[in-house]
Amino acid sequence: MAATATALHPVAAAPSAASGTFPSFNTADMPSEDSSFLTMLQYLPETIIKELDLDGISRFILHLLTEHIIPAVLFAAAFVALYNLGLVASRVIWPPSAQELHIEAVNLLKKDTAVDDTCTDGSSDKRTEVLKLLRAAMAKDPELEVAYITLASELLYGNDGKDIDQALTVLQDAKKRFPKSDEVDKLLVETGAIKKWGKSHGKMAEAGRFPL
């Protein structure tokens, strides 16, 4: 029986505990079948590690990182950087028109709720960019009436009405440039009403319910 167990489990031929190799238990006092089985179990972790070839797995992971993942990440980062640089360069070489600046500002107003008429954060980066674009459009084309209207509206209703004095200045300038503009007149009426009675009375003043 012992010979059969040894044939079935070659690891049983490993040094016995009597030689000091396996101090955790003594196989000399056990039947040969049990001794062979326990010896096999003690060698099992080492056998599994050898079969897994951890060195090979480590080399594969390292190869994957250095040859594929890291280059792909660097390529993506370089592409984004070049794309943004191209956008900046294109604006310098081919500067946008006043109409394009106004459209860009309006698109920002539509996309970002932080700069709509409920905005209370005067430090909003998007709102600052919108105001900058609108002023740039007015500087590029002082006769672009819609830029004055959009800027005055944002100053009047954005930032919780704290920029109403700036809105009034823009509207007074617009009134000089566009004396027959109905939109400018309406905003002037609303601005006067808001300065007297608050934001909620602007539309009512426009409708003639409050004297100015």
Residue 90 pLDDT > 90, yes or no?
no
CB 171 within 8 A of CB 187: yes
139 shares its domain with 67: no
- Among candidate residues 99, 160, 164, the one with its CA nearest the CA of residue 133: 99
pLDDT in tens, 93-125: 888 899 999 999 999 888 765 444 444 444 478
Q: What is the pTM of this model?
A: 0.54
Note whether 37 and 65 are same-domain residues. Answer: no
> 28: domain range?
2-52
C-beta neighbour count of 149 within 10 angstroms: 21
Amino acid 150: pLDDT = 94
Same domain, 172 and 202: yes
CA torsion angle 163 166 172 178 (round to 10): -80
The number of folded domains in the chain is 3
CA 137 to chain centre: 29
- CA dihedral of residues 122, 124, 130, 134 (deg, nearest 10): 30
Q: Give per-residue pLDDT as tens, 48-88.
A: 666 666 677 788 888 888 888 999 999 999 999 999 998 88
